[in-house]
Amino acid sequence: MMRSIFSGVSGLRNHQTRMDVIGNNIANVNTVGFKSSRVTFKEGFAQILQGASRPPGDTAEVSGGTNPVQVGLGMNIGSIDLLFTQGSLESTGVNTDLAIQGESFFIVAEGAQRFYTRAGNFQLDADGRMVAATNGAVVQGRLTDDTGELTDEIQDIILPFGQKSPARATSQITFSGNLNAEAPEGATRDTTITVYDRMGVAHDVRFRFERQAADRTWEFQVTLPGSEGFDPDAAPLTTGTIVFDNEGRLESFTPEQFTFTPDSGADDVEIDLNFGTIGGLRGITQFAGPSTAVVREQDGYMQGDLERFSIDTTGTIFGAFTNGVTLMLGQVAMADFNNPAGLIRVGDNQYAVSPNSGQAVIGFAGEGSQSTITAGALEMSNVDLAQEFTNLITTQRGFQSNARVISTSDEMLQEVVTLKR
């Protein structure tokens, strides 16, 4: 009877532990990135009342071997497992909210310590660092260097809105449109574009195309504004010639580049001329019809300030600057584990490495990690309420049954005590 009481006590104690786990799961049904747990039981120690015997070697004997006689002494917790099934995604519209689809984790740092989380409710602090909203742990990733290329160093993600996009001097001008094949000799077409020097100072450049006596030839002049603006009588900065073939397609042009010295004190600006594909229809053409030739684009820009940013499915952060330029700023790092169920919960939706989880394998979405990132969304808890309430019922019944074993054993002991009466 004492054995049955001890068995009942183990059942009560361990079913209470299971109830604690179920209660924690239900409490976190709306916790961002929460992963539920489950409890598995195992039988406890079994006392041998009689050992097993093997059959006698003499086949004339009538009796055979006997099985062991054992009495179990209750049950124990076998394991409490973390279930890293995918949670559903909820759209939030906040561009710093990130959700992982896959088995990876975000990496956050508190000082020199790194932790791992599925909760992507991040925000920016006063210094522009991307941090976890729950405790301020800094999100880890890689940033770009001065050339705009991603480095290999894993560090704090910093997106200061005072960040500058340095000015870039124009290095190429691209043309498109048509020069009228029926235009008379001496007919002109003007087009103007703004280019930039190394300091970001803007300069207006005018191109004038003039029809020549030869049927398929146009001369162009490049002029910079002087103190009196565009002076048609002023010497051009450079002159060149465009020749078309007998189908109106570009055949050749010279020169391919021109240079000017800006009055801002910046270095000389060297600009390549891109009139289009030789023999193709991209760029300048000469067909019958209105002259529409224009300078379509140039690749320079002035200095700009970071205005906003966005994050794509690979976790790459792109910044939009006030000068209209979009530059890559960094990329959020991700970690994978051989055994994520071996991680240790440390609170605040974070996990730490344990001896059985394996070390973090750091990578990036699409580069070392099969997971992807959805910006403007959060991964919700993976708690299945239907399953939890079912477990609640079975746990309650298990607890009640073990309590009944104890009370019944107590009544039997009471009967033994009253035998002397």
State how far the Cα of 140 lies from the Cα of 317, in Å rounded to an integer: 13
In order of 82, 221, 224, 235, the CA distances from 231 in angstroms are 78, 12, 9, 9
* Greatest Cα pair distance in the chain: 139
Q: Which pLDDT tens digit goes with each residue over 261-272?
A: 988 889 999 999
The residues spanned by each domain of the chain are: 2-52+66-84+382-420, 91-157+340-379, 172-298
List of residues 6+ apart from 161 with CB closer than 8 A: 128, 305, 306, 307
Task: Please indicate whether residue 62 or residue 249 has the higher confidence score (pLDDT).
Answer: 249
In this structure, the number of other CB atoms found within 10 A of the CB of residue 38 comes to 16
Helix (H, G, I), strand (E, B), or coil: what is residue 382?
Answer: coil
pTM for this prediction: 0.76
pLDDT band of 231, cuts 50, 70, 90: low
> Does residue 410 surpass a pLDDT of 50?
yes
pLDDT band of 72, cuts 50, 70, 90: confident
pLDDT band of 58, cuts 50, 70, 90: low
> Does residue 226 surpass a pLDDT of 50?
yes
Contact 328, 317 (CB under 8 A): yes
Alpha carbon distance, N-terminus to C-terminus of the chain? 21
Per-residue pLDDT, averaged over 367-376, amounts to 92
Per-residue pLDDT, averaged over 90-107, amounts to 95
pLDDT band of 140, cuts 50, 70, 90: very high
Q: What topology does CATH give the domain 172-298?
A: Tick-borne Encephalitis virus Glycoprotein; domain 1 (2.60.98)
Helix (H, G, I), strand (E, B), or coil: what is residue 368?
Answer: strand
State how far the Cα of 229 lies from the Cα of 232, in Å rounded to an integer: 9
Quick one: pLDDT at residue 233? 65
Quick one: pLDDT at residue 264? 86
Percent residues over pLDDT 90 in the chain = 71
CA count, 13 A, side-chain hemisphere, 275: 27
Percent residues over pLDDT 70 in the chain = 95
Closest CA to 373 of 413, 330, 331, 328: 331
Per-residue pLDDT, averaged over 58-85, amounts to 84
State how far the Cα of 284 lies from the Cα of 181, in Å rounded to an integer: 12
Mean pLDDT, rounded, of the chain = 91
Quick one: pLDDT at residue 176? 94
Contact 333, 363 (CB under 8 A): yes
State how far the Cα of 351 lies from the Cα of 340, in Å rounded to an integer: 9
